[in-house]
């Protein structure tokens, strides 16, 4: 809740006129309790999780010729019922998350120190925070993921997520409740250490969810703008990890490839790329193979 009764009071406190974004934020949040703004996070993520995977799921079911040339494991086609089951089981956690957010709000305010009023953060500040959050989340998730691939971690927890050897976007959040809890720690670590505005928090969690859905989509599109991001892994990098399943000891990082490269856990993906290239005789596999060869050469140099 913004502690100013009128826009004029808000501008007087800022010492300047509000930007159009700040004016819109004032109109939306001025009379809204901070606890409800805090709970917006779950609603936003639920909408994104529901909508983002749908286009590829629908196209694979009803217009496969459009997307199958870009599918990393084209011989594996999930039935629609499997995608729906995956979605329903993962979506059950979202209502529980709302209740947890309401109960934990007092503690969350102290831990996260999230700003909810004015001014809004600048574009430069937002980008800098997102970069820091991405690097922190990637590094911490890498080690948690490796722990989940120990014998005990896989058999007791992580095997649920690996039920899909050819993943779908909905499989991003399909996992054991303990895994959801453990992997939420790296995503929260950045905002805890580097506090931000609630809008930046929404943006960070949204980007991370969309990226996770893309990584689990099972499709590689050469025209994707994510290819412009240095050391970005993407679906083609993570797909092998699901293909190998419990025996996989590589490709652990969720976002970038630098951790796998530094700790020498990025080797096996080459065999997967060569295997799919030979088995499916698909030009897309040749493109992926050349792409990774070139990027690894640049990284080594």
For residue range 241-272, list pLDDT tens digits in order: 888 777 778 889 999 988 988 998 876 555 55
Q: Are residues 11 and 41 in the same domain?
A: no
CA-nearest of 165, 197, 7 to 75 is 165
Residues 79 and 9 in one domain: no
pLDDT the model gives residue 134 = 96
7 plus 138 within the same structural domain: no
Residue 138 has pLDDT above 50, yes or no: yes
Same-domain pairing of 25 and 98: no
Q: Which residue has the tokens 């529980």?
A: 96
Looking at the structure, tell me whether residues 82 and 215 fall in a common domain. Answer: yes
Give me the number of domains the chain comprises: 2
Say if residue 123 is in the same domain as residue 138.
yes
pLDDT reported for residue 279: 47
d(CA 32, CA 1): 5
Query: What is the SS3 string spanning the chain?
Result: CCCCCCHHHHHHHHCCCCCHHHHHHHHHHCCCCHHHHHHHHHHHHHHHHHHCCHHHHHHHHHCHHHHHHHECCCCCCCCHHHHHHHHHHHHCHHHHHHHHHHHHHHHHHHHHCCECCCCCCCHHHHHHHHHHHHHHHHHHHHHHHHHHCCHHHHHHCHHHHHHCCCCCHHHHHCCCHHHHHHHHHHHHHHHHHCCCEHHHHHHHHHHHHHHHHHHCCCECCCCCHHHHCCCECCHHHHHHHHHHHHHCCCCCCCCECHHHHHCCCCCCHHHHHHHHHHHHCCHHHHHHHHHHHHHHHHHHC
Average per-residue pLDDT in the chain? 85
Query: pLDDT band at 299, cuts 50/70/90?
Result: very low
Note whether 280 and 155 are same-domain residues.
Answer: yes
User: pLDDT class for 167, splitting at 50, 70, 90?
Assistant: confident
What is the tens place of the pLDDT at every residue in 24-50? 999 999 889 888 898 899 899 999 999
Q: Average pLDDT, stretch 52-80? A: 89
Q: Does 271 lie in the same domain as 247?
A: yes
Q: What is the pLDDT of residue 270?
A: 53
d(CA 119, CA 11) in angstroms, rounded, equals: 10
175, 185 in Cβ contact below 8 A? no
Give CA separation, 289 vs 101, 274, 282, in Å: 44, 7, 11
What does the alpha-carbon distance between residue 167 and residue 114 come to, in Å, rounded to a whole number? 34
pLDDT value at 15 more than 80: yes
Distance (Å, rounded) from C-alpha 50 to C-alpha 58?
A: 13
Residues 17, 148 share a domain: no
Tens digits of per-residue pLDDT, 190-229?
A: 999 999 999 999 999 999 999 999 999 999 887 777 777 8
Tell me how far apart the alpha carbons of residues 107 and 75 are, in angstroms, rounded to a whole number.
Answer: 48
Residues 149 and 203 in one domain: yes
Which domain, by its residues, includes 290? 36-300
Same domain, 93 and 4: no
Nearest 5°: the CA angle 15, 21, 26 is: 70
Q: In this predicted model, what pLDDT tens digit does every residue of 271-282 receive, in sequence order?
A: 555 555 554 445
Q: Please count the other Cβ atoms lying within 10 Å of the Cβ belonging to residue 135.
A: 15
Nearest alpha carbon to residue 194 among 114, 86, 79, 74: 114
Clarify whether residues 100 and 130 are in a common domain: yes
């Amino acid at each position: 809740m913004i502690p100013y009764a009128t826009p004029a009071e808000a501008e007087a406190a800022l010492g300047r006129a509000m930007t159009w974004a700040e004016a819109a934020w004032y109109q939306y949040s001025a009379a809204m309790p901070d606890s409800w703004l805090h709970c917006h996070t779950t609603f936003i993520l639920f909408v994104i999780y529901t909508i983002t995977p749908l286009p590829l799921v629908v196209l694979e079911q009803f217009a496969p010729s459009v997307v199958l040339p870009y599918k990393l494991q084209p011989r594996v086609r999930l039935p629609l019922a499997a995608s729906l089951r995956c979605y329903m089981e993962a979506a059950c956690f979202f209502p529980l998350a709302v209740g947890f957010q309401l109960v934990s709000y007092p503690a969350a305010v102290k831990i996260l120190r999230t700003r909810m009023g004015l001014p809004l953060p600048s574009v430069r500040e937002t980008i800098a925070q997102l970069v820091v959050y991405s690097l922190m989340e990637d590094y911490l998730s890498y080690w948690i993921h490796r722990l989940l691939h120990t014998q005990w971690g896989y058999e007791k927890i992580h095997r649920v997520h690996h039920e899909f050897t050819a993943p779908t976007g909905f499989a991003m959040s399909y996992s054991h409740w303990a895994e959801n809890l453990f992997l939420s720690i790296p995503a929260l670590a950045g905002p805890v250490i580097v506090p931000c505005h609630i809008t930046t928090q929404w943006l960070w969690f949204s980007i991370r969810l969309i990226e996770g859905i893309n990584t689990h989509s099972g499709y590689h599109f050469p025209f994707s703008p994510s290819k412009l991001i240095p050391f970005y892994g993407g679906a083609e990098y993570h797909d092998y990890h699901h293909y190998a399943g419990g025996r996989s000891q590589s490709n652990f990082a969720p976002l970038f490839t630098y951790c796998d490269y530094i700790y020498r856990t990025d080797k096996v993906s080459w065999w997967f790329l060569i295997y799919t290239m030979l088995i499916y005789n698909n030009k897309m596999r040749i493109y992926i193979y050349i792409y990774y060869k070139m990027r690894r050469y640049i990284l080594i140099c």
